[in-house]
A and B are shown apart, each in its own frame.
Chain A
Amino acid sequence: MHPLRRQRLAIVLLIIAGTAAAAALLGYALRENINLFYPPSDIVAGKAPVGRDIRAGGMVLEGSVKRASDSLQVSFIVTDYQANVPVTYTGILPDLFSEGEGVVVLGQLDAEGLFHADQVLAKHDENYMPPEVTDALEKAKSQSGAPEPSKPY
C-alpha cells in the first residue's frame, strides 16, 4: 500500500476505534446511572423493579408524616390520590417538604413495597411543581375520572 494511504487508513481506524470506545463507555455510564421515574399507581401495580435505583413522586399524603423519637428516621406516604406508596428516609428533609405538597424521592423499592429513599427532593418555589409529579397526578386522575384533589396545585 502507498505509505500516504497507509497513514490515512491508520488515522481513520484510530478515529473509528476511539469513537467506538467513547460510545461504549458512554452507553455503560448512562445505563448504570440513569433512574426511571414511576408514579405511585405503577409502583402499586408492580410495574417498578425491586432493589434498583428508581425515582418516585407525587403528593405527600396529609397526616402521613411520622418521625422517630430518637433518630432522624422519618416515614411518609407518597400518593397520586389513586395509590399510596409508603416511604422511609433517614436524614434531614428539604425546607419545602410538607404534607399535601409535591415530592420526588430517589431510592429503592423492597419486596414488601416499602420505598427506601436515599434522597428526598421537594420543590424550590411554592408555585413550582416538578413536571413528573404534575404528569403522574394528571395520569392518575384521567385513568379513574376521580374529582380534583382537594388542594389545587
Chain B
Amino acid sequence: MIPEIGHFALVLAFCSSLLLAGVPALGYALGHHTLLASANRFALLQMALVTVSFVCLAAAFLRDDFSVSIVALQSNTQLPAHYKFTALWGGHEGSLLLWVLILAGWTAAVALTGKHIPIAVKAVVLSTMGAVSVGFLSFMLFTSNPFERELIATPADGQDLNPLLQDPGMVIHPPMLYFGYVGFSVAFAFAIAALVRGRLDASWARWARPWTNIAWAFLTVGITLGSWWAYYELGWGGWWFWDPVENASFMPWLVGAALVHSLAVTEKRGAFKNWTLLLAIFAFSLSLLGTFLVRSGVLTSVHSFAADPTRGLYILGFLFIVIGGSLTLYALRAPESAFRPTFAKISRESLLLANNILLVCAALVVLLGTLFPLIMDYLDLGKYSVGPPYFNAMFVPLACGLALLTGLGMFSQWKRTRDLKTLVREPLVLALITALVLPFAWGEWQWLASLGLFFGLWLIFASVRSVVHQTRNAATRLSGLKRLKLSYLGMICAHIGFGVAVMGVTVVSLYSSERDLRMAAGDALDVGSYRVEFRGTAPVTGPNYAGTQGDIRLLRGGREVAQLLPEKRRYHARGDQIMTEAGIDAGFLRDMYVALGEPLGDSAWAVRVHYKPLVRWIWLGGALVALGALLAVMDKRYRLQRLQEEV
C-alpha cells in the first residue's frame, strides 16, 4: 500500500510541476495577477507531494519491502537501519528521487523567502524551476520509476547495498553534492527570468547571488566529502582520480566559482552582464551534463550504475532542450543589454575577468578530457581513455595562474587600482622566501614543491596582508576586524582555504611515500621516522559481513603512537563481495595509512603502507572555501536589503 501512495504522490507531483511551469508563465504572458501569484502555491504543493513520495520510499526501505524492485536490489534485512535509509539513494531511481526532492526544496525556498522580489520576476523564476522539475519527474515516471514492484516473485531477501556505499561519508556526500548541483538551477532560473523580461539590470544578480553562493558552498562540501570518502574507503589512498564522474561534479564547480565572482561584478559595477548570464546558464547545464554522464552509464567509473540506453537518450534530449532553449533565448535577448562600463587595465574588474577566463578554461580542459573518449567512441575511432597526466599537465598551470591573480585581486579596487605594488611587495617576498625553505621540512628540496608552496603561501599571506590593510585606520586591530563586512571576511576565508588546499595538494603529491609489500606477523617497515609493525591478523564479524582484521602498530622513537586496525571484509549478501577498510592514523601534518591487500599464505599479507604529509589540508581547504562562501551570504547587506524592500 505504501509504495502505491508514494507512486501516486509522485504522479500528482508531476501534475503540480506541470501547473507550476505553465500557469505562472501564462499569467506572465497575460499580465494576470492571480495567475502570477499562484506560483507560490504550486511550488509548495509540489514540495509537499515529492516529500510524501520520498517518505513512502524511505518507509519501503526501512520496512524491508522487497516487493519494491529497488529495495530488493539495494537493501537487505541484515543491513543496519541507517544504511537502509541511505540505500534509498544508492541506485539510479532513488538518487533521482533525492534529486527531485532537493529541486522541489530549492523551489519552495525561493517561493517562501523572496518577498522583496517583484511578483512577475518570481513567477517566471518559479515557472522555470517548475519546467526543470517537469523534465526530471517525467524522466522518473517514464523511464526509472522507483516504485516499480515485483509482486508475484517477491524475493525473500534483498541483494544488499554495495559495501562501498555502507559508510557514513556516503550518508552525506550525495545529498550535499545534489544540493549544489540543483542549487545552480536557481541562478539559472533568475538568468532566464531576466532574459524573458528583457530587464538586464543589476537586480537579477543581487537576487541570484546569495542562492548561487549557497549552492556553490554545498557543491564544495560535496566534492570535498567525495574526495575524503574515496581516500579512506576505496583502499588505495588516492584523494582525486580525475574519474569522469569526479570531473562531472568539478566542471560545474569551476564554472560556479566563475559565476560567484562574476555575479559580484555585475551586481556592484553593472559590468559583465552578458557573461554572467552565460555562466549561469552553463553552470546549470554542466550540472545536467554531469547527471547525464553519471546516470547514463556511458562512462567507466566508480559511480556508474548498470546502463540503460533509453535513459541516456532521454537526459541527452533534456540537456539539448535546456541548453538549446536557453542559448536561443540568450541570443534573442542579450544584445539588448549592450552597455559598456569602463575600467582600467589593472582594476578589480580586469582581474576578476582574468580569473573568470582561467576558471572557464579549466572547466573546458576538464570537459574535453572527459568527453574525448565518448566522442572517439561515437565516431568509431577506437576506445580511448584520458589519463591523469593529461589533466595534471593542463590543469595545474591554470590553477597556478589563478592563485597568482586571486592574490592580486584582493589588493585591487574597482575601476582602477593604486598602490598595488607597495601592497603586493610584503606577501610576495615573504611567500617566496618561505616557499624556498619549507620543502626541507619533508626531506629533499624539489623545485616543484617550492613552486606549489609559493602559490599556496602567496594566497594565504596576501589574504592576511589584505586584512591588515583594511584595518589600518582602526583604533585597534580588533575593533577594525569587528567592523569588516562578513562578505569581505568570507572572501578572505575562501581564499585562505584555496591556499591551504594548494599547499596540501603540492606536498602530498610530491612527498607521499607509498609502499606495497609482503608482511608476515612480526615484520616491520621503516617509513621516515616511523616504524610500522605487523602483529598479525584476527577474524572479525559485523552485522552483515565477516572478515579479517590486521593489527598494525605505529611506533616512533620506540614508543607506540597508534594502533591501526585495517580490515578485509566479506559481505554475505553480495556473493561475498570483498571490501577493504583502511586503518588510518590521521594528523594535522601527516596521515599514516595502512590497508590489507590479500592473504599470501603462511600468515603473510600484502600490505599497503602510505605516509601522506598534509593530506588533510586538501579537505581543510575545501571546508574553508565552503565556509567563506556561506559567510558572504550572511552579510548584513542581504538582510538589510530584504528589510528595506519589505517596508
Which A residues contact B (CB, under 8 angstroms)? 22, 25-26, 29-30, 32-37, 53, 55, 67, 69-72, 91-93, 95-96, 104, 124-128, 130-132, 135
Contacts and interface: CB of A to CB of B under 8 A. Distances in A.
B300 A130 contact: yes
B365 A26 contact: yes
Interface in B93-148: none
Contact of A35 (B306, B385, B580): B385
A72 B518 contact: yes
Contacts of B164: 124-125
A19 B219 CA distance: 30
11 contacts: A30-B368, A30-B372, A32-B390, A33-B389, A35-B387, A53-B387, A70-B518, A91-B516, A92-B606, A124-B302, A132-B383
B495 interface: no
B308 to A, nearest CB: 13
A34 B518 contact: no
Given A34-B373, A34-B386, A72-B518, 9 more contacts: A30-B369, A30-B390, A33-B390, A36-B383, A72-B516, A125-B164, A126-B577, A131-B298, A135-B383
A120 B578 CA distance: 16
A146 to B, nearest CB: 22
Nearest to B580: A95
A71 B373 CA distance: 36
Interface in B293-329: 297-298, 300, 302, 304-307
A126 B597 contact: no
Contact of B386 (A30, A91, A93, A126): A30
A130 B385 CA distance: 12
Interface string B549-591: 0000000000000000000000000110111100000000000
Nearest to A67: B600
B365 A132 contact: no
Given A33-B386, A36-B382, A135-B383, A126 B393 contact: no
A132 B300 contact: yes
A26 B389 CA distance: 12
Given A127-B306, A131-B300, A132-B300, A37 B384 contact: yes
B37 to A, nearest CB: 48
B384 A35 contact: yes
B162 interface: yes
B386 A92 contact: no
B598 interface: yes
A31 to B, nearest CB: 9
Contacts of A26: 365, 368, 394
A34 B606 CA distance: 31
Interface in B521-547: none
Contacts of A131: 297-298, 300, 307
Contacts of B394: 25-26, 29
B578 A95 contact: yes
A95 B580 CA distance: 7
Interface in B593-638: 595, 597-598, 600-601, 606, 608
B160 to A, nearest CB: 10
B548 to A, nearest CB: 13
B517 interface: yes
Interface string B363-392: 001001100110000000011111101100
B20 to A, nearest CB: 36
A92 B516 contact: yes
A86 to B, nearest CB: 20
B278 interface: no
B439 interface: no
A43 to B, nearest CB: 13
Given A35-B384, A93-B597, A135-B383, A128 B306 contact: yes
A39 B327 CA distance: 41
A72 B368 contact: no
A80 B389 CA distance: 29
A72 B606 contact: yes
B174 interface: no
A132 B373 CA distance: 11
B35 interface: no
B53 to A, nearest CB: 26
B226 interface: no
A120 B600 CA distance: 18
Contacts of B384: 34-37
A91 B369 CA distance: 28
B235 interface: yes
Nearest to B386: A34
A106 B382 CA distance: 16
A77 B112 CA distance: 62
A95 B387 contact: no
Contacts of A69: 600-601
B361 interface: yes
A29 B391 CA distance: 8
B598 A71 contact: no
B387 A33 contact: yes
The 6 closest A-B pairs by CB, nearest first: A92-B597, A37-B383, A33-B390, A33-B389, A95-B578, A29-B393
Tell me which of A33, A71, A130 has the highest count of chain B C-beta atoms within 10 A of its own C-beta: A33
Task: Identify the interface centre among A25, A91, A128: most chain B CB within 10 Å of its CB.
Answer: A128
A33 B373 CA distance: 12
Contacts of A29: 389-390, 393-394
Given A67-B600, A93-B598, A131-B300, A34 B390 contact: yes
Contacts of B517: 72
Nearest to B300: A130
A22 B361 contact: yes
